[in-house]
A and B are shown apart, each in its own frame.
Chain A
Amino acid sequence: MSASLNTVSSDEAIVKDSKNMWGGGQSPYAVSWGKMYMWIFLLSDAFTFSSLLIAYGTMRHRFSDIWPKPNEVFTHFPFIEHHVPLAYVGLMTFILIMSSVTMVLAVEAGHRNDKKQSGMWLLLTIIGGLMFVGSQAWEWYHFIVGTEHGRILANGTVFHGANLTMNEYGLTPLFGDFFFFITGFHGFHVFSGVVINFIIYLNVIGGVYEKRGHYEQVEKAGLYWHFVDLVWVFVFTFFYLL
């Protein structure tokens, strides 16, 4: 593997010839199998998330006249009594983008075989991930408990918050269903990412990659982590902004 990769980088002139490139004997992609597998997994995962968001879009179009306005639903912010629409999800986005930077800096430190710095940035990434999962729990809590005024039903009773069959925010239960399913699926990805990052972190500080001579595992975990950030960018737009 190492030999074929080196051929690619040393004989750059040959590589540029498309006939030689695909003629066998060298890796046209010049990427390790581990990284390629991660990319292909992320491609399939991207299709899963796309399907969820497209299903959301389809149903939102179907019930467009009775669909709740997201910026009237998500208005809570810790320690603030007033309604501050979008501020909390904006903060969550900030946390996740921030943890994406710390992850990419861990990868960069790994390229320099810098065990100490790579470990430090990974630890900050894990903290960022935990902060995000915690924020999501807080968000779910307020969505489920609901507002004080709630919604008055046809039989005169008042319904607060949301569950899978009913919510106070709109006349269709689908709004709550998609909220739980999409943010839940994403939140579970973040949680898995934190677990993966933690294992990688233990390996880094344990000197496993130092002994191995390269930090490619950090890079692979990084790809997954950035993907989770990428999905949130789309969830943020399609669920909260539009």
Chain B
Amino acid sequence: MTTQEHTADDHSETIGPKARKRLWKVFWLLLAITLFEVGISFTAIPKEVLKILFIGLTIVKAYYIVFFFMHMKHEKVHFAWSILLPFILIVYFIYMMMTEGNALNYIRTVFENHI
């Protein structure tokens, strides 16, 4: 299907010492972010700020895994959008279900007053 020349041609950015160096760089970055996350979870930063920081950093990590480890960066841009756009549904799902969860909590604690 794909000949050697073709692979080398299409994935010139994913091959060779330069690419290997970049992959290790991504690894150290992911590790640093993880250590940073564990570190700040013990500080006195307000819970709400921590929440946003953790979710933001998780998305950063996801970006590096998908775009560098899974080579999404080297795929055609239309293909990347085809895979990534459906996640808009997940964003909406999160918004709906967290609203629902808060409402259930309100009903449980205020009206029913039991576990």
Partner-B contacts on A (CB < 8 A): 1-2, 5-6, 9, 28-32, 36, 39-40, 43, 46-47, 50-51, 54-55, 57-66, 71, 85-87, 90, 93-94, 97-98, 100-101, 103-105, 107-108, 111-113, 171-172, 213-214, 216, 222-223, 226-227, 229-230, 233-234, 236-237, 241-242
Contact = CB atoms under 8 A, between A and B. Distances in A.
Interface string B48-63: 0001001101100110
By CB atoms of chain A within 10 A, which of B16, B55, B100, B105 has the most?
B105
B101 A59 contact: yes
B2 A108 contact: no
Contact of B27 (A60, A98, A236): A98
B79 A54 contact: no
Contact of B38 (A47, A86, A104): A86
What's the dominant secondary structure at chain A's contact region?
helix
Q: Is the interface of B mostly helix, strand, loop or mixed?
A: helix
Nearest to A28: B78
Interface size bucket, B side? 35 or more
A108 B104 contact: no
Contacts of B65: 100, 226, 229-230, 233
Given A58-B104, A237-B37, 4 more contacts: A85-B42, A214-B3, A233-B65, A237-B58
Contact of B97 (A5, A58, A237): A58
Nearest to B26: A101
Contact of B70 (A1, A90, A226): A226
A105 B23 contact: yes
